[in-house]
Amino acid sequence: MKKSIVFILVICSLVFNCTVKEKPQFIGIDNIKVLDSNIKNITISADAEFSNPNDVGGTLQTDALKVLVNDREVATFTSKEFKVPSKDKFKIPLTVSIATDSIINKGNLSGLLGSLLSKKLKVQYKGDIKYKVFGYSSTYTIDKTEDVKIKL
C-alpha cells in the first residue's frame, strides 16, 4: 500500500513539475545568405529561430518547405526531426543546394540577368514547420522573402 502511494505521488510530481505551457515561440527566419555559388550549384542557407519556454522539449520537422528564387520554385526539401531543447532559444539550419540550370528558363531569363548585374537574388522560404510533443502537434507557417548578395 505504501509503495502504491509513493508511486502515485512520484508520478503526480513529475506530471505537475514538467509543464507544457505553450508551443515554442517562432521568432523568425534570419541570416538568409548564399553560402556558395558556382556554375553548377548555388547553396543557400537560413536559420529558423525559436524559443521554448517549456520544461519539456519535443521535435520540429520541416515538411516540403519550398525555396523560391526570383519568384520561381527551385527546390523543395524535408528535414529530419530536430530535437527541441527545453527552456532555451535555438535555431534550425535550413540549407539547400540548388542546381543553377533549374533557375534558368526563357520565362525568367531577364530576371536572372538582372540579378547577375545587380549581384542579388530574391530568395523566399515558404512552407510549414511542425512541432510535436506527447501526442500534441502544432504547425508554424513560414513565408520569408529577402534579397541576398551573390558571390561571383
Closest listed residue to residue 79, CA positions, set 114, 32, 126, 129: 129
Q: Give residue 49's pLDDT.
A: 93
**11/1 Cα distance (integer angstroms):** 16
User: Please, are residues 53 and 25 in contact by the beta-carbon 8 Å criterion?
Assistant: yes
**150/152 Cα distance (integer angstroms):** 6
Q: Which domains does the chain have, with CATH numbers?
A: 20-149 (2.60.40.10)
Which residues, including other chains, have CB under 8 Å from residue 140's CB and lie 6 or more apart?
26, 128, 129, 130, 131
pLDDT per position as a tens digit, 18-32: 555 578 899 988 888
pLDDT band at 6 (very low <50, low <70, confident <90, very high): very low
Q: Give residue 106's pLDDT.
A: 47
Query: Which carries the bigger pLDDT value, residue 75 or residue 13?
Result: 75
Mean pLDDT across 113-129: 73
User: Please, are residues 38 and 150 in contact by the beta-carbon 8 Å criterion?
Assistant: no
User: Please, are residues 2 and 116 in contact by the beta-carbon 8 Å criterion?
Assistant: no
pLDDT per position as a tens digit, 83-118: 999 889 999 888 888 887 766 654 554 555 555 555
**14/21 Cα distance (integer angstroms):** 15
User: Please, are residues 123 and 145 in contact by the beta-carbon 8 Å criterion?
Assistant: yes
pLDDT per position as a tens digit, 28-86: 888 888 888 787 888 888 888 999 998 888 898 887 889 888 788 888 877 788 899 98
pLDDT band at 13 (very low <50, low <70, confident <90, very high): very low
SS3 label, residue 54 = coil
